Amino acid sequence: KAGVTQTPRYLIKTRGQQVTLSCSPISGHRSVSWYQQTPGQGLQFLFEYFSETQRNKGNFPGRFSGRQFSNSRSEMNVSTLELGDSALYLCASSGQGSGETQYFGPGTRLLVL
Amino acid sequence: DQQVKQNSPSLSVQEGRISILNCDYTNSMFDYFLWYKKYPAEGPTFLISISSIKDKNEDGRFTVFLNKSAKHLSLHIVPSQPGDSAVYFCAASGVSNYQLIWGAGTKLIIKP
């Protein structure tokens, strides 16, 4: 089975711009979670989607949003980028999402200048 | 309120010796625990898990121990190898929770 894929792998944006990141889960997985990791920090949970519905949301501002498509692919959008949004954004998929083992993609490294 | 805590930010171990990484949790409703390994600029890789009905799970060089009364779990790596140098995260979940709750991670350094 192919693993979780994320595109793009690297991205450079400037403050005020917006960005969309994409995640394709493992075939058959219906749950997709998004995380942010900044240098020296653990994984900060952004949100989780299951069957096109957001089931859970972390403590991030409304500038961070996401969606999931009928094929379980997911996108994450960040609007009005700030310098502090520079981070590694990780996507993870699991079958049902109810605390199952999550499998991670390689991440998208976002740099905001 | 940190529900999953990894109190050691880093740990240095001699190659060939045992590495012991610790994790404490506060939520008694957690019933599934996982350990992940992460290299810089990569996504975490699943290592090993344990459910609350067990107190030990072993997979090759990796063993996870769960002490429910102390709300504590540990990951033992024996023998430690240079490729084990990475950040290790523990995570936990409960039956009614749709997300994994993560610790802050422990950086393991294996010295030659």
Looking at residue B6, its pLDDT comes to 94
User: In chain B, which residues have their Cβ closer than 8 Å to the Cβ of A55?
Assistant: 98
Burial (CB < 10 A; 0-12, 13-18, 19+), residue A18, is exposed
Q: Does A25 touch chain B (CB under 8 A)?
A: no
Distance from CA of B39 to the nearest CA of A (A): 10
Phi, psi angle pair for B55, to nearest 5°: -120, 0
Share of residues in chain A with pLDDT > 90 (%) = 78
Per residue in B80-96, pLDDT (tens digit) is: 999 999 999 999 987 65
In which band, very low, low, confident or very high, does the pLDDT at B77 lie, cut at 50, 70 and 90? very high
User: In chain B, which residues have their Cβ closer than 8 Å to the Cβ of A43?
Assistant: 44, 89, 102
Residue of A55, A56, A90 lying closest to B43 (CB–CB):
A90
Cβ of A106 within 8 Å of Cβ of B32? The answer is no
Q: What is the 3-state secondary structure of chain B? A: CCCEECCCCEEEEECCCCEEEEEEECCCCEEEEEEEEECCCCCCEEEEEEECCCCEEEECCEEEEEECCCCEEEEEECCCCHHHCEEEEEEEEECCCCCCEECCCEEEEEEC
Residues 37-56 in B contacting A (C-alpha not used; CB under 8 Å): 41-46, 49
Residue of A41, A99, A106 lying closest to B100 (CB–CB):
A99
Q: Does B110 touch chain A (CB under 8 A)?
A: no
- Secondary structure letter of residue A85 according to DSSP: G
Looking at residue B101, its pLDDT comes to 86
Per residue in B15-56, pLDDT (tens digit) is: 999 999 999 999 888 989 999 999 987 899 999 999 999 999
Give the chain B residue nearest A95 (alpha carbons). B98
Give the chain B residue nearest A90 (alpha carbons). B43
**Cis-peptide, bond into residue B79, ω within 30° of zero:** yes
Asked if pLDDT for residue A98 goes beyond 60, the answer is no
Per residue in A49-93, pLDDT (tens digit) is: 999 999 888 889 999 999 999 999 999 999 999 999 999 999 999
Q: Does A7 touch chain B (CB under 8 A)?
A: no
For tokens 């350094």, name the residue. B109
Burial (CB < 10 A; 0-12, 13-18, 19+), residue B107, is middle
Query: What average pLDDT does the segment A20-39 reach?
Result: 93
